[in-house]
């Protein structure tokens, strides 16, 4: 052992602590790692903010949870009302209630739904994967189709294909989704009998063993192929209905983003290098054009995830939208707060993912 | 005279033309070798490597078409820098774009652009693509917009090396590092992994030069290469261009509106106005005893007139 390293061990490695060395080095050398850490910490802070906002908003609702949950006769008895309020901590000042709420939250306790008499966490545990499956399918299809449409429209600018895609995307964004859902359900289920009915799988099947909560994935994992195909079949129609709007949106955004990038000097420079059109398009044009598209796709995905109330109702899809609707109409406050929290976290996560994608695509973002 | 419709780069052509390119590529590459082999006679002063004659250009406009170039004649020789001066809108940049077939969609040209005897205007897009960036390359005015902001320097230096010269990743990187050394970028190997925004303007333009010269072209179209740079950095980039031109026997078309730049490094000078070349000649003659009145006007507008 050299005298120097011995000395550094003797001082407990104060100059360059060996234990912290590799990680600190990673963060210093990899701007992306630093960027990720910063964004994650910000997201955690924002999540705390979300709990405060949902809490305050829920308590601003002019309804009285006691009135909503106690029977008609019980509400006339001040003793019962007071007991209910005391039992649920509603007689304490709001800051104390918030502290209690936060404390419970950290233990994973979101309270009990007054409607289902189950922990809100359990309810959300089934509703969120259902919506995730639906929204995930919709956003994947939308991205593939929307980006492809947008690129083709930009490359065929002002020609017939472009005009056609313009009409298609305009229809997509302007047709009301609930109307499209009703129409699709009527046509493909009732009239032609191609699509399976409502729900997530055919009634003769039991749900696949719960791993991810996504029926398609769980069924495939368990090797239950009939269940898998039933789940895919049930997923198809509502997902395609949701796709109409996002495809229209993404087509328009991709088209304008690609057109803008096509006019950039670096695209001309790439052509001047004699690179094949395919390389120029995929490596030089699309990379830059996808940045604005990712933002829009992220927002669209957030909207899909935070519950598509009408589509979920029409297809009897037991997701977050349906749950939110039921909780809000019955003033089931713990459930409403739970939904609010989930929606907030969904947007935070999607935004974080978008930021990370930005960082991966555009190196200039990382240094800010 | 031949009339050609330029391939519509921005249109569907890019995606469509590509499907069949892989098969035909080896053929054009072999052709290329033939052209490159004839390049032995660079020392001969008279041999023109690029000859533009009677070039006209019409671009689509609001009402029909607008004539941008009215019969441009220019000759580029190996190891010589040919300055092309003129105010904005005189058609200098479009002349450069025409050489590489980078004109906007719908452009129509007549005349002839002969590169070692091959007319670039009538060359099928695929063969033109094989020459572009390899035998004839181009660098642009502003390196902060002509380098892709999201791709590493290494990527932008090796893409065309690998495409044109069929180098593997390792060989292309080695060549790229060597090129960065040639344009005097410190720590070339490390620089390959960095992005354009991590370099200064002058360094970026040196990188752009390295990209343009990667495949050892014979002709370089330099479109206002110093305009976007600080005056203090300009001289360095110009000296570099001059040195590379001398060492590699490169024929340079230096497009600039700056007669100061022109007088610093050009061998021959052409002055353009309204899509016509109004005067051509050796630098000394054109800049000291201009024949055309417009050249005189340009020279009089120069602040340091007396020093020329």
- pLDDT 10s digits, A295-326: 999 999 988 888 688 888 888 899 999 898 88
- Spatial neighbors of B252 by CB under 8 A, at least 6 apart, are B76, B80, B81, B82, B219, B220, B221, B222, B241, B245
Counted domains in chain B: 1
Per-residue pLDDT for B9 more than 70? no
Residue B26 lies in a domain: yes
For the ranges A72-86, A191-205, A242-256, B257-271, the lowest mean pLDDT is seen at: A72-86
Q: Which of B18, B130, B141 is the closest to A277 by Cβ?
A: B18
Nearest chain B residue to A290 by CA: give it. Answer: B150
Domain contains B46:
yes
CB contact under 8 A, A268 and B129: no
**Residue B20: CATH number of its domain:** 3.40.50.300
Is some CB atom of chain B closer than 8 A to the CB atom of A287?
A: yes
Domain that holds residue B265: 3-143+215-307
Residue whose pair of structure tokens reads 């940049």 in the numeric block: B93
Alpha-helical (H) ranges within chain A are 3-10, 21-29, 31-60, 65-69, 78-87, 94-106, 120-155, 160-174, 177-184, 215-222, 225-262, 265-272, 277-279, 286-305, 309-314, 320-329, 333-361, 363-367
Q: Which of A155, A266, A274 lies closest to B12 in CB terms?
A: A155
CB pairs under 8 A between A and B: 107
In angstroms, the Cα distances linking B93 to B39, B101, B129, B224, B272 are 27, 12, 19, 9, 11
Closest-CA distance, A245 to chain B, in angstroms, reads 26
Q: Is B140 on the interface with A (CB under 8 A)?
A: yes
pLDDT of residue B46: 62
Backbone angles phi, psi at A127, to 5 degrees: -75, -40
Inter-chain touch A272–B21, beta carbons under 8 Å: no
- Mean pLDDT is lowest, of A74-83, B28-37, B45-54, B69-78, for B28-37
Inside any domain, residue B179: no
Is there a contact between B225 and B139 (Cβ–Cβ < 8 Å)? yes
Contacts of A214 (CB under 8 A, 6+ apart): A129, A132, A133, A136
Q: How close, in Å, is residue B273 to chain A by CA atoms?
A: 25
Is a pLDDT exceeding 50 seen at residue B55?
Answer: yes
Helical pair A333-361 and A31-60, crossing angle rounded to 10 deg: 160
B62 pLDDT more than 90: no
Interface test with A, best of B8, B13, B14 (most A CBs within 10 A): B14
Residue from the list A265, A276, A364 with its beta carbon closest to the beta carbon of B163: A276
> Quick count: other Cβ atoms within 10 Å of Cβ B293?
10
For chain A, list the domains and their CATH numbers.
Answer: 129-317 (1.10.3720.10)
In a domain, B235, yes or no: yes
For CA atoms A50, A52, A58, A61, give the dihedral sign.
negative
What number of residues does chain A have?
Answer: 368
Indicate the average pLDDT of chain A: 84
Q: B168 lies in a domain?
A: no
Contact B14 A281 (CB under 8 A): yes
Predicted confidence (pLDDT) per residue in B173-231, tens digit: 999 999 999 888 999 999 999 999 999 988 998 899 999 989 989 999 999 888 878 88
Q: Determine the Cα–Cα distance for residues A239 and A200; give it in Å rounded to an integer.
A: 12
Residue B118 within any structural domain of the chain: yes
> Does residue B67 lie within any of the structural domains?
yes
B301 in contact with A at a CB cutoff of 8 Å? no
Cα(A270)–Cα(A288) distance, integer angstroms: 13
| B162–A contact, CB cutoff 8 A | no
Please answer yes or no on whether B195 and A363 come within 8 Å at the CB atom.
yes
Q: Distance from B173 to chain A by nearest Cα, in Å? A: 17
- Residue A11, pLDDT > 60, answer no
Q: Which of A11-20, A223-232, B100-109 has the lowest mean pLDDT?
A: A11-20
Residues of B in contact with A358 (CB under 8 A): none
Q: Minimal Cα distance from A160: which residue of B?
A: B12
Would you call A265 and B102 a contact, using CB atoms and an 8 Å cutoff? no
Is the ipTM here above 0.85? no
Q: Could you tell me if residue B194 is inside a domain?
A: no
**CB of A271 less than 8 A from some CB of B:** yes
For A67-131, the DSSP string reads HHHS-TTGGG-HHHHHHHHHHTTTTS-HHHHHHHHHHHHHTT---B-TTT-SBHHHHHHHHHHHH
CB contact under 8 A, B146 and A287: no
CA B138 – CA B90 distance, rounded (Å) = 19
């Amino acid at each position: 052992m050299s005298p120097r390293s011995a000395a550094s061990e003797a001082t407990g490695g104060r100059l360059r602590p060996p234990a912290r060395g590799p990680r600190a080095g990673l963060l210093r050398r990899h701007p992306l790692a630093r960027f990720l850490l910063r964004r994650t910490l910000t997201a955690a802070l924002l999540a705390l903010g979300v709990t405060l906002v949902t809490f305050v908003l829920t308590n601003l609702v002019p309804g009285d949870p006691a009135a909503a949950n106690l029977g008609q006769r019980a509400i006339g008895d001040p003793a019962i009302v007071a007991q209910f309020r005391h039992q649920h901590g509603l007689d304490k000042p709001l800051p104390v209630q918030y502290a209690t709420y936060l404390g419970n939250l950290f233990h994973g306790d979101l309270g009990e739904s007054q409607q289902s008499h189950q922990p809100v966490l359990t309810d959300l545990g089934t509703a969120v994967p259902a919506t995730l499956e639906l929204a995930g399918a919709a956003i994947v299809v939308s991205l593939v189709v929307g980006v492809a449409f947008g690129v083709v429209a930009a490359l065929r600018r002002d020609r017939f294909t472009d005009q056609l895609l313009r009409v298609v995307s305009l229809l997509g964004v302007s047709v009301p989704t609930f109307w499209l859902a009703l129409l699709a359900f009527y046509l493909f289920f009732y009239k032609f009998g191609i699509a399976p009915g409502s729900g997530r799988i055919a009634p003769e099947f039991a749900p696949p063993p719960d791993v991810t909560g996504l029926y398609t994935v769980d069924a495939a994992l368990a090797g239950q192929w009939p269940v898998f195909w039933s789940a895919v079949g049930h997923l198809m129609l509502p997902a395609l209905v949701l796709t109409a709007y996002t495809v229209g949106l993404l087509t328009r955004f991709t088209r304008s983003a690609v057109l803008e990038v096509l006019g950039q000097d670096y695209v001309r420079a790439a052509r001047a290098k004699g690179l094949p059109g395919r390389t120029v398009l995929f490596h030089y044009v699309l990379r830059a054009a996808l940045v604005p598209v990712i933002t829009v796709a992220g927002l669209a995905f957030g909207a899909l995830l935070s519950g598509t109330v009408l589509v979920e109702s029409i297809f009897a899809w037991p997701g977050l939208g349906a749950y939110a609707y039921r909780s809000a109409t019955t003033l089931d406050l713990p459930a409403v707060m739970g939904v609010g929290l989930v929606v907030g976290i969904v947007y935070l996560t999607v935004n974080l993912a978008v930021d990370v994608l930005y960082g991966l695509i555009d190196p200039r973002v990382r240094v800010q | 005279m031949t009339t050609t419709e330029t391939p519509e780069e921005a249109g569907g052509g890019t995606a469509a033309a590509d499907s069949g390119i892989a098969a035909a590529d080896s053929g054009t590459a072999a052709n290329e070798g033939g052209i490159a082999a004839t390049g032995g006679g660079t020392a001969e002063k008279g041999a023109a490597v690029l000859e533009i004659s009677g070039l006209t250009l019409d671009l689509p406009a609001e009402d029909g078409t607008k004539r941008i170039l009215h019969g441009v004649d220019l000759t580029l020789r190996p190891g010589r820098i040919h300055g092309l001066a003129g105010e904005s809108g005189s058609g200098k940049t479009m002349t450069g774009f025409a050489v590489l077939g980078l004109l906007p969609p719908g452009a129509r040209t007549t005349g002839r652009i002969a590169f070692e005897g091959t007319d670039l205007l009538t060359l099928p897009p695929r063969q033109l693509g094989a020459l572009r960036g390899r035998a004839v390359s181009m660098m642009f005015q502003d390196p902060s917009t002509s380098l892709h902001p999201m791709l590493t320097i290494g990527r932008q230096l090796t893409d065309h090396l690998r495409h044109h010269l069929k180098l593997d990743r390792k060989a292309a990187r080695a060549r790229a590092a060597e090129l960065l050394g040639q344009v005097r970028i410190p720590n070339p190997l490390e620089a390959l992994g960095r992005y354009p925004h991590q370099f200064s303007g002058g360094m970026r333009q040196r990188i752009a030069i390295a990209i343009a010269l990667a495949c050892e072209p014979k002709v370089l179209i330099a479109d206002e290469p110093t305009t976007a740079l600080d005056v203090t950095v300009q001289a360095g980039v110009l000296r570099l261009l001059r040195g590379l031109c001398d060492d590699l026997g490169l024929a340079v078309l230096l497009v600039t509106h700056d007669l100061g730049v022109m007088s610093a490094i050009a061998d021959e000078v052409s002055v353009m106005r309204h899509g016509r070349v109004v005067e051509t000649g050796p630098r000394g003659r054109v800049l000291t005893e201009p024949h055309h009145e417009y050249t005189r006007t340009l020279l009089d507008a120069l602040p340091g007139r007396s020093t020329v």
